[in-house]
Every structure is written in structure tokens, then in C-alpha cells.
């Protein structure tokens, strides 16, 4: 499954380099039009990140997200600064099909485990944003601004009993770089957790990057905006199975 991505700051479509807000590129001011174009190209899902919400939950762009969902007809998985159960409830009520949760799952795993059980495994996606430290992939938190003391393997393992089904794994060092995805990372995750629906994010630059990647979903952002990758061609390779 191919997930074209939209990152939002103040209602505009942007991309960051390795999650750095100081390295921002703006690609448009009409995210509804961008999402509609993705739908017309054949996409079924959209990956939507509220970067304002990630920095400050008080600035969450729930209204914009609702407009994108209703205006495009796409299924949307969205995240960015999820701090509490009510944040998830608000996004699901706005029409989101799935909510992506990262830092909250590190700091309050019991709350997130309960949400997986209560909202259903398909409504929650665990964001495993990783930084490599001494040959071990560690989970990053706070909008990728700091590393936790939790390994990727331990992080995912902690939610299996709750029924975890969806994991979005981002190699921060490759995000927004168009240097190719970390194939070894994703192969290791699939080997450790074969029943998980794994989404890859970070580094995709061309069709060749999608070939044999081995994940169940792929997030594509900058490569689409820069014209390096054609969405219909990517969809033809990535298929349209449910993820």
C-alpha cells in the first residue's frame, strides 16, 4: 500500500529535512487540493502529519484535517502531538480512519494499549521513529528531538498483547533525504514481528526503492513533491491492498 504524505504547518503543505523545523520547504497552501490530486491519481490512503500539533497540541489543526478528509474522500491516517485519549477521539470524530501515536506510547504505554483494545487495532498505528545508537535502533520522542532509552524491539513488543497490528517505522536519518529506504532495518522488523502490518517511511526517491522493499506499506512525501516519483507508477508497484 502506498501512502502519499502531507505534512501541515499553519495549513500549508510542507516537508522537513530529518524532522528539523529549521529546514522546511513549503510546497503549497491548499492541502485539500493536494489530497484530491492524490485521490484522482488512484491513491486510497493519505498519511497526514500535523506538525503544528506535534510542537504544541494547542495548535492542533483538526479543522484542516477534517476538511482534507471530507474534500478528498481518502482514508486518512494522521498524527502529530497526540498527548491523550481525547486527542485520538477528536481525530476519529473528524473522520480519520487511523491515528498515529508515538511519544505517548513511550511515556504512557498503558494508555495506548488500552486505546488499541478500545478503538480497535485498525484505528491505532504505533509510530516507531528510530535513531541508530551504537548499532541499536532506539526510539525517538518529542518530535524526534530526543532519544528515549527504549529499543525498537522492546517498544513494539510491549504492545503485542494489546493486539497491536499497525507500525509505522521511520528512519529519522533518512527522512526527507531521498537517499533510499533502510532495507536492512525493515527486513529485521518484519523478521522479528511477521504478523505486524509494517509501514516504511524515510528516504524513498524512485520506483526502484519500492521494488522488493518487503513492507506492507510505504510513506512517500518529498519524492512526490519534487517530481522524482510518479504516484500512479508507484501505486502500480505498491498495489492497493489494505494496510
**Residue 77: band (very low, low, confident or very high) from pLDDT cuts 50, 70, 90:** very high
What's CA 57's distance to the chain center, in Å?
Answer: 18
Q: Per mean pLDDT, which range of 116-120, 133-137, 145-149 is the poorest? A: 145-149
Looking at the chain, the whole-number percentage of residues with pLDDT higher than 70 is 96
Superfamily name with CATH number, domain 2-238: Aldolase class I (3.20.20.70)
**Which residues are annotated as catalytic?**
7, 129
Q: What is the pLDDT of residues 86-101, one digit of tens each?
A: 999 999 999 999 999 9
- Whether 13 contacts 56, CB under 8 Å: no
Q: What is the pLDDT of residues 55-72, one digit of tens each?
A: 888 899 999 999 999 999
* DSSP collapsed to 3 states, 9-73: ECCEEEEEECCEEEEEEEEECCHHHHHHHHHHCCCCEEEEEEHHHHHCHHHCCHHHHHHHHHHHC
Whether the pLDDT of residue 83 is over 80: the answer is yes
Closest CA to 217 of 197, 193, 236: 197
- Whether 93 contacts 85, CB under 8 Å: no
**Residue 117: band (very low, low, confident or very high) from pLDDT cuts 50, 70, 90:** very high
Whether the pLDDT of residue 241 is over 60: the answer is no
Looking at residue 172, what DSSP letter applies?
G
Q: What does each C-alpha distance from 153 to 116, 130, 192 come to in angstroms?
A: 19, 11, 8
**Residue 218: band (very low, low, confident or very high) from pLDDT cuts 50, 70, 90:** very high
- Where in the chain are the domains? 2-238
Q: Per mean pLDDT, which range of 43-47, 52-56, 123-127 is the poorest? A: 52-56
- State the CB neighbour count (10 A cutoff) for residue 156: 21
Rounded to whole angstroms, the Cα distance separating 219 from 151 reads 22
pLDDT of the residue at 242: 52
Torsion of CA 222, 238, 102, 147, to 10 degrees: -60
pLDDT of the residue at 144: 63
Rounded to whole angstroms, the Cα distance separating 114 from 191 reads 26
- Whether 104 contacts 148, CB under 8 Å: no
Amino acid at each position: 500500500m502506498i501512502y502519499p504524505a502531507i505534512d501541515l504547518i499553519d495549513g500549508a503543505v510542507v516537508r522537513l529535512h530529518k524532522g528539523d523545523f529549521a529546514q522546511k520547504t513549503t510546497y503549497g497552501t491548499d492541502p485539500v487540493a493536494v489530497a484530491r490530486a492524490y485521490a484522482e491519481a488512484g491513491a486510497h490512503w493519505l498519511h497526514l502529519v500535523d506538525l503544528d500539533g506535534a510542537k504544541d497540541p494547542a495548535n492542533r489543526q483538526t479543522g484542516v484535517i477534517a476538511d482534507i478528509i471530507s474534500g478528498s474522500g481518502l482514508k486518512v491516517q494522521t498524527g502529530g502531538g497526540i498527548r491523550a485519549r481525547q486527542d485520538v477521539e477528536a481525530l476519529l470524530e473528524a473522520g480519520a480512519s487511523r491515528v498515529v501515536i508515538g511519544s505517548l506510547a513511550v511515556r504512557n504505554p498503558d494508555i495506548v494499549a488500552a486505546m488499541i483494545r478500545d478503538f480497535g487495532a485498525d484505528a491505532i498505528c504505533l509510530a516507531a521513529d528510530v535513531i541508530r545508537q551504537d548499532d541499536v535502533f532506539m526510539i525517538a520522542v518529542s518530535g524526534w528531538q530526543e532519544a528515549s532509552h527504549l529499543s525498537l524491539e522492546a517498544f513494539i513488543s510491549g504492545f503485542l498483547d494489546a493486539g497491536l497490528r499497525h507500525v509505522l517505522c521511520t528512519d529519522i536519518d533518512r527522512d526527507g533525504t531521498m537517499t533510499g529506504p533502510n532495507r536492512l532495518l525493515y527486513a529485521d522488523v518484519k523478521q522479528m514481528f511477521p504478523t505486524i502490518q509494517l509501514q516504511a517511511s524515510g528516504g524513498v526517491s524512485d520506483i526502484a526503492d519500492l521494488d522488493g522493499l518487503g513492507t506492507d506499506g510505504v510513506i512517500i512525501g518529498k519524492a512526490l513533491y519534487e517530481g522524482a516519483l510518479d504516484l500512479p507508477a508507484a501505486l502500480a508497484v505498491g498495489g492497493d491492498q489494505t494496510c
